[in-house]
Amino acid sequence: MNNFNLCGRVAEVGQRRNDKAPWPVLIETELGRDKTALVPVEIFGPEAPPVGWIAVISGTLDSREWQGRRYLQLVAKSREFLPPPAQAQAQPQHYRQPPRYSEADQPPRRSNPPEDDNMPF
């Protein structure tokens, strides 16, 4: 079995069939610089995870057989749902340039480097 870690945002939460069934959840995760993927995951629990929250799921990668065919199965061992960061919801702050210093604030410049005839190189 292989271990996996999945981190992404909860994109969609479906309806469960009954009180003991898991919640069908789609988690949007990044594959590369410009690519994202929706990963279907079933989450057990009394409440559905809120859409937009960050999902951190780890577990094992396994397979199962059904009607003579093998299917990939992700078995979640731990799960955690975190609220989105406050900075993502707030307005982006504008970059402020650092203040410019006057020539009087600068340390004095050396006009000539010190001459030393006994340099080792």
Q: According to the model, what pLDDT value does residue 59 have?
A: 86
Tell me whether residue 118 is in a domain.
Answer: no
Q: According to the model, what pLDDT value does residue 43 have?
A: 85
What whole-number distance in Å separates Cα of residue 9 and Cα of residue 82? 9
What's the domain count of the chain?
Answer: 1
Range of the domain at 68: 2-84
pTM score over 0.95 = no
3-state secondary structure of 3: strand
Per-residue pLDDT of the chain (121 residues; tens, 9 = 90+): 588 888 999 999 999 889 888 888 999 998 877 888 888 888 888 888 899 999 998 888 888 898 999 988 777 788 899 998 764 455 455 555 556 666 666 666 666 666 666 666 5
Tell me whether residue 107 is in a domain.
Answer: no
User: Which H or E run contains 40?
Assistant: strand 36-43
Among 56, 63, 71, 66, which residue's Cα sits nearest to residue 2?
A: 63
Tell me whether residue 54 is in a domain.
Answer: yes
Tell me whether residue 104 is in a domain.
Answer: no
- According to DSSP H, which parts of 1-121 are helical? 86-89
